[in-house]
Chains A and B, each alone.
Chain A
Amino acid sequence: AQKITQTQPGMFVQEKEAVTLDCTYDTSDQSYGLFWYKQPSSGEMIFLIYQGSYDEQNATEGRYSLNFQKARKSANLVISASQLGDSAMYFCAMRYNGSGGFKTIFGAGTRLFVKA
């Protein structure tokens, strides 16, 4: 069965510091993908970063990087130089190839608070 686990309900970080949000996953598939989405208090879901299971390099997008450790089945999000606008819910997600096409499952989320 496919599963995404985010064990940190809430995290605090000082502005301008780096923070790591944890994500572990479970799948028996060889081909899958991992995502991070941000949900600000306004409610929209914003795509941040993607890592494919066959990608050898960790994905990076600006201040976001995904620390992919395949053997440990972890896909942690690292936000460098935190900003006040980074305060939001962050969801880890995994896509897999289910019957009928690609499906995506989400973790329960981590709420990040950035302190001035």
Chain B
Amino acid sequence: NAGVTQTPKFQVLKTGQSMTLQCAQDMNHNSMYWYRQDPGMGLRLIYYSASEGTTDKGEVPNGYNVSRLNKREFSLRLESAAPSQTSVYFCAIRTSGAYEQYFGPGTRLTVT
């Protein structure tokens, strides 16, 4: 996983609860991304961060917030979870000078 860690691996929430998904990288890359993967669909970009302190919306940002406080960490927050946010969440990094992304192991989130 190219040094990308995600916590937690699994989480069950009730509707309306909040939580933060954590992503950390150990390779000093600038670009970090959050995706969600729903059954039968590819990955959809939620938010990304081109560098420390900057974030930008992707395809499906509604219901999420992100924070990139330092170069290593990029967190995704659900303020009020909804069943529609049941998904597998992947964090990814892009190495400088390259185009491909390397993904963390994913967080499987269920909202009941």
- Known A101-B48, A101-B56: A43·B99 in contact at CB below 8 Å: no
Residues of A within 8 A of B33 (CB): 104
Interface residue B90 (Cβ < 8 Å from any Cβ of A)? yes
Residues of B within 8 A of A44 (CB): 1, 103, 105-106
Report the stretch among A11-19, A71-79, A80-88, A105-113 that lies at the interface: A105-113
- Known A44-B106, A106-B42: A100·B101 in contact at CB below 8 Å: no
A-B contact pairs, 29 of them (CB 8 A): A4-B42, A33-B99, A35-B99, A43-B105, A44-B1, A44-B106, A45-B90, A45-B92, A45-B103, A47-B101, A50-B99, A50-B100, A91-B43, A93-B42, A95-B99, A99-B56, A100-B48, A100-B50, A100-B54, A100-B56, A101-B56, A102-B99, A103-B48, A103-B58, A104-B101, A105-B45, A107-B42, A108-B40, A109-B41
Residues of A within 8 A of B44 (CB): 106
Given contact pairs A45-B106, A50-B100, A106-B42, enumerate 18 new A-B contacts (beta carbons under 8 Å): A33-B99, A35-B100, A44-B103, A44-B105, A45-B43, A45-B90, A47-B102, A91-B42, A93-B43, A95-B99, A100-B50, A100-B54, A101-B56, A103-B45, A106-B43, A108-B41, A108-B42, A109-B41
Residues of B within 8 A of A43 (CB): 88, 105-106
In the A-B complex, the 4 residue pairs with the closest CB atoms: A106-B42, A100-B56, A101-B50, A45-B103
Residues of B within 8 A of A107 (CB): 42
A residues lining the B interface (CB < 8 Å): 4, 33, 35, 43-45, 47, 50, 52, 91, 93, 95, 99-109
Residue on A nearest B2 in the bound complex, by CB: A47
Residues of A within 8 A of B100 (CB): 35, 47, 50
B interface residue count range (under 10 / 10 to 19 / 20 to 34 / 35 or more): 20 to 34
Q: Smallest distance from the beta carbon of B98 to chain A beta carbons, Å? A: 8
Query: Are A102 and B31 closer than 8 Å at their CB atoms?
Result: yes
Residues of A within 8 A of B43 (CB): 45, 91, 93, 106
Residues of A within 8 A of B103 (CB): 44-45
Residue on B nearest A2 in the bound complex, by CB: B59
